[in-house]
């Protein structure tokens, strides 16, 4: 059985080569941004950088304010995922694994923020859900053409 594939006609057909040549670059830019935007959050939790409180204080907050039974371990996990998996996602290294770990962490974050409503400016779940969707796409699709996974010829 043969299926015909047709491309959607463009309003400005002359732009098709531009879109085709920039598609992989755009995907890479989103992957890099998603990964690198997480790294400072992890550095706050793990190392106290960028105005963060470090692992002990963040762990105490996770326990006292968020209800985790072992706040230190939760802070270590969240900070490590943000920092190390964020770097891996940005590099496109172990992309599916890194993006999956980030997705789970963001799902937990969204559940914590759920009671505050939708808007992130009011402490709601909007921001973690948006980023979970972005990284979820890389968990499914992989790192793409311009990734270390592609360079080494292996993906998880």
Residue range 76-97, pLDDT digits in tens = 999 999 999 999 999 999 999 9
Q: 103 in a domain, yes or no?
A: yes
Q: 69 in a domain, yes or no?
A: yes
Counted domains in the chain:
1
Tell me the C-alpha distance between 52 and 46, whole Å.
8
Q: 21 in a domain, yes or no?
A: no
- Residue 8 or 147, more confident: 147
At 3, the pLDDT band (50, 70, 90 cuts) reads low
Q: What is the CA radius of gyration of the chain?
A: 19
Q: 7 in a domain, yes or no?
A: no
Residue range 43-87, pLDDT digits in tens = 999 999 999 999 999 999 999 999 999 999 999 999 999 999 999
Q: 2 in a domain, yes or no?
A: no
Tell me how far the alpha carbon of residue 77 is from its chain's centroid: 15
The predicted pLDDT at position 5 comes to 60
Residue 71 CB-half CA count within 13 A: 15
Structure token digits, residue 84? 């190390």
**Containing domain of residue 60, as a range?**
26-152
Q: 102 in a domain, yes or no?
A: yes
Q: 15 in a domain, yes or no?
A: no
At 4, the pLDDT band (50, 70, 90 cuts) reads low
| Mean per-residue pLDDT of the chain | 95
Tell me the C-alpha distance between 128 and 140, whole Å.
18
The predicted pLDDT at position 2 comes to 55
Q: 47 in a domain, yes or no?
A: yes
Structure token digits, residue 25? 């670059």
């Amino acid at each position: 059985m043969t299926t015909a594939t047709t491309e959607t006609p463009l309003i400005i057909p002359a732009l098709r080569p531009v879109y085709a040549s920039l598609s992989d670059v755009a995907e890479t830019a989103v992957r890099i941004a998603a990964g690198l935007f997480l790294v400072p959050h992890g550095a706050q939790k793990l190392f106290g950088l960028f105005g963060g409180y470090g692992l002990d204080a963040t762990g105490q907050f996770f326990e006292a304010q968020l209800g985790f039974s072992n706040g230190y371990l939760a802070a270590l996990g969240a900070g490590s995922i943000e920092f190390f998996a964020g770097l891996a996602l940005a590099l496109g290294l172990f992309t599916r694994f890194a993006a999956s770990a980030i997705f789970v962490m963001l799902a937990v974050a969204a559940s914590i923020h759920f009671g505050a409503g939708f808007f992130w400016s009011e402490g709601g779940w909007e921001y973690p859900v948006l980023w979970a969707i972005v990284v979820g796409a890389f968990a499914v699709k992989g790192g793409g053409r311009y990734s270390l996974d592609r360079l080494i010829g292996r993906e998880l």
